[in-house]
Structure formats: structure tokens, C-alpha cells
């Protein structure tokens, strides 16, 4: 249904088209606003701004819905693999068996890292954060592999996307081994995408890694849950940087840098650090809840709240179940899981959290899951980055193919000093 909104400025009426998405979401189209009225809109943090039309991911933050290309994330977590979900996000449709086999072959063919890149790792300080290393290495890949061809040949484009998906996983495991001073484990053509990652992380000549299919499946689910989340901070970074028509590697590298922040992907590390602190201080969550509510204290309850979800994060619910499943499988208990459950219980009964619609998000339980798999704390956000890669690639692809494509260049309302004269330094007292 086409409709218009009326805007009255200084007694003059302007009409703005109201556009509607497939799921009934509505927006005012203000693309001609400045041309027609001389005004811009002001929306710090872009909480009310749609930056694009997209057919990749649908979220409803009030109802806790998340779908990739129309398919509920719950169904994908139950039935799909990360590889298949990545294909779906990038290509728009689930693959046929033949297409998936071809995709797997390509992931295998492009999984090795150029030997010359190894020296890059050796020159990072040992204590460098793996997210900084990953962002630099992905940018570095551009020096070794060509940019997307101007001819836009489908096969070439697919190779570039697959190369990134496969190599980022290898780079992540490689950086872990190098940080330990251990021998790097190469990817194997015998193993699937997720099994290969676990093997590259944990296999060693003195302690061969035994692949456990349940853990491999759990990692598939973990990465499916992270695969896309429409126009979040890192994806918007990929689109914005990509809008300057930089190469894909540079755009993804910017996304990785954005994801690193503790308010975004870095929250999975921050949650475990917070839970550990609560545990070390006796296990009582009450002082932390009190601090989170205190406006004079910058502390926030990590893993709680979301810009879009005003109810349970559907990914968080699956993640919580996965934690319990993996710990049971490993016959292990994690005291941090008990702390997390107690914290959640207390927070969800507290009027501050109720009134602010603050619920556990994906990151609240994901760190406990990664600990159970044996992933070191400083690599938690790298795990998020590997999972988000199909989303970044598909959003980048959609943006460069968009007929409405434009360089991203927001405006501002200037509030600095009015025009004034330059004062030579000698005249300054």
C-alpha cells in the first residue's frame, strides 16, 4: 500500500513517500528532503535511520525474530551447516547438493595461506590482540590475491568470497598456534569446514586431536547464529568503507576492527571477564546489578541489552541450550555458567532491567560455550568474526550491486565556533 506523510515546515507542506518492506516495516523516504526543504535529519547512533533496502536478513526486535533470506535461524541451527548457511546468505537460496559440493571443493582449494604471510605473524608482538592481527592480515591478503575483476565473472567472484571464508578460518587457527610457539597445522581435505578449524587449533604431534562430531555440530550452530544480523555496527562499517569502492579485503578488515569493540562482538570476551570477576569476588551478582543501574558508574552488565531486541535475543536462547549440551557431552561443569544463570535470574526480576527491556543477548552465553570448546579468551571475538564473514560478504555484495548505490557520506549539524580570524602564535598570550 503506497502512502505519503506530510511534513509542515514554516507553514509549507512537503510530501514524503512512505515505503513498506516485505514484513510490513514502514519508513519515510527522505532521500529528497534536503533538496526540497534545505533540511537534513539528525539521528545520533542512527537508531531511527534505515541505511539501505536489503533482502538478506529480517529481524523483529519486539518479537525476537531472526531470519536469513526468510528462513528462521532456529530452523537453520537445527538442520543446516555453517557452510550451507554461508551459501544461502551469499547466494540468496539454499544450494542443491551439487552446488554445495562445489562450494566445499572451493573452500578446500582456497584454504592454504601463502607461505610469505607467515613472516607477518612473526613480527607482531606476542601480546598483540588476535582481532588486531586478524584485521591486519585480512587487509594483507589483498597484497597476495587480486581484487574482484572488473568483468564481474560469477566464478571469479565466487572464488574471491570462498577464498576469504576459507582463509580467515585458517589465519585464525594459525595465529593461535604461532602465539603458543607451536607448529602450524595445515587444513585437511578430509575434514569439513568446522572440523578443520578445530583440528587446526588443537591438533599437535604429541597429542593428536580426536574429532568429536557433536562438538563439530555445536560449532556449526555457533557460527550459524553469528552469520548475519542486518545493519549492525560492523556490517555498517563494511558497507560504509565499501561504498568508497575499496577492495573487499579492506572493507572486511574494517568490519573486523568494528566488531572488536566491547559494545559489539568484543562483548563475548567482556562477559566472561565479568563473570570471572563475580566468581572471584564470592559469586554474588547483586553488587554488579547495583553498579549497572548506577548512572554515575560507567559499568554495564555485559551480555545484556540490544539496540534492536527489546525481548529475548533468539540467538541467546539457542546459545544457552548449546552451552548446557556441550558441557554435558564433555562431562564438565563450569562455575561461570551457574553465575550467569544467577545473574540472569536476578536481573530479569529487577525493575530497572524490566523497564529498560534489557534481556540476555547472544554474547551472554557464547563465551561459556567457547570456553568449553577450549577456545582461549582473547580469541572469542575472532570466533564471532569467522561466523559473521558470510554476512559481511553478502551485505557488501548487495551494496555494490544496488542500483541506488551511493558513497556513504552523512551530514552533520555544526555546533562549533562561528567564523573568526586566525591569530598568529606570537600574538597569543
Q: What residues make contact with ligand CMC under the rule CB under 6 A?
A: 45, 229, 232, 263-265, 267, 292, 300-307, 356, 358, 361-363
Q: Rounded to whole angstroms, how far apart are CA atoms 271 and 313? A: 16
Q: Rounded to whole angstroms, how far apart are CA atoms 396 and 272? A: 31
Name, in order, each residue with C-beta under 8 angstroms of 121's C-beta and a sequence gap of 6 or more: 133, 137, 174, 175, 178
Phi and psi, residue 427, nearest 5°: -90, -5
Phi and psi, residue 11, nearest 5°: 80, -5
Question: Least CB distance from residue 183 to ligand CMC, whole Å?
Answer: 34
Phi and psi, residue 296, nearest 5°: -90, -5
Q: Which residues pair with 65 in a beta bridge?
A: 60
Question: Least CB distance from residue 80 to ligand CMC, whole Å?
Answer: 20
Residues annotated catalytic, as ranges: 306, 363
CB distance 272 to 327 below 8 Å: no
Give the DSSP letter string of 108-160. Answer: HHT----GGGHHHHHTS-TT--HHHHHHHHHHHHHHHSPPPPTT--HHHHHHH
Place of cell 528532503: 33
Q: Rounded to whole angstroms, how far apart are CA atoms 19 and 319? A: 35
Amino acid at each position: 500500500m503506497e502512502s505519503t506523510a506530510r511534513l509542515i515546515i514554516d507553514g509549507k507542506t512537503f510530501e514524503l513517500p512512505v515505503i513498506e518492506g516485505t514484513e510490513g516495516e514502514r519508513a519515510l523516504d527522505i532521500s529528497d528532503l534536503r533538496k526540497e526543504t534545505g533540511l537534513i535529519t539528525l539521528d545520533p547512533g542512527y537508531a531511527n535511520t534505515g541505511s539501505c533496502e536489503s533482502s538478506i536478513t529480517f529481524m523483529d526486535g519486539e518479537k525476537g525474530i531472526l531470519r536469513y533470506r526468510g528462513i528462521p535461524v532456529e530452523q537453520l541451527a537445527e538442520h543446516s551447516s555453517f557452510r550451507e548457511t554461508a551459501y544461502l546468505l551469499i547466494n540468496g537460496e539454499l544450494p542443491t547438493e551439487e552446488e554445495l559440493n562445489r562450494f566445499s571443493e572451493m573452500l578446500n582449494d582456497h584454504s592454504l595461506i601463502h607461505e610469505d604471510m607467515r613472516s607477518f605473524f612473526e613480527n607482531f608482538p606476542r601480546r598483540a590482540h588476535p582481532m588486531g592481527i586478524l584485521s591486519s592480515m585480512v587487509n594483507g591478503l589483498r597484497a597476495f590475491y587480486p581484487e574482484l575483476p572488473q568483468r564481474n565473472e560469477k566464478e571469479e567472484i565466487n572464488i574471491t568470497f570462498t577464498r576469504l571464508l576459507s582463509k580467515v578460518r585458517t589465519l585464525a587457527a594459525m595465529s593461535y598456534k604461532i602465539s603458543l610457539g607451536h607448529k602450524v597445522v595445515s587444513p585437511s581435505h578430509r575434514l569439513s569446514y568446522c572440523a578443520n578449524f578445530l583440528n587446526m587449533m588443537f591438533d599437535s604431534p604429541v597429542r593428536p586431536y580426536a574429532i568429536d562430531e557433536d562438538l563439530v555440530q555445536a560449532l556449526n550452530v555457533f557460527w550459524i547464529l553469528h552469520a548475519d544480523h542486518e545493519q549492525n555496527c560492523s556490517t555498517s562499517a563494511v558497507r560504509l568503507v565499501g561504498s568508497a569502492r575499496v577492495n573487499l579485503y579492506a572493507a572486511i578488515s574494517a568490519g573486523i576492527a568494528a566488531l572488536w569493540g566491547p559494545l559489539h562482538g568484543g562483548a563475548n570476551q567482556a562477559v566472561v571477564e565479568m563473570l570471572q570477576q563475580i566468581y572471584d569476588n564470592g559469586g554474588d551478582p547483586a553488587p554488579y546489578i547495583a553498579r549497572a543501574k548506577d548512572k554515575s558508574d560507567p559499568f554495564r552488565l555485559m551480555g545484556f541489552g540490544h539496540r534492536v531486541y527489546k525481548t529475548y535475543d533468539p540467538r541467546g536462547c539457542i546459545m544457552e541450550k548449546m552451552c548446557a549440551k556441550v558441557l554435558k557431552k564433555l562431562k564438565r561443569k563450569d562455575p561461570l555458567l551457574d553465575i550467569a544463570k544467577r545473574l540472569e535470574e536476578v536481573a530479569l526480576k529487577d525493575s530497572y532491567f524490566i523497564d529498560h527491556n534489557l534481556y540476555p543477548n547472544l554474547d551472554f552465553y557464547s563465551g561459556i560455550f567457547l570456553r568449553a570448546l577450549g577456545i582461549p579468551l582473547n580469541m572469542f571475538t575472532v570466533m564471532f568474526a569467522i561466523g559473521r564473514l558470510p554476512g559481511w560478504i553478502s551485505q557488501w555484495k548487495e551494496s555494490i550491486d544496488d542500483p541506488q548505490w551511493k558513497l556513504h557520506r552523512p551530514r552533520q549539524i555544526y555546533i562549533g565556533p562561528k567564523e573568526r580570524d586566525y591569530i598568529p602564535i606570537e600574538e597569543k598570550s
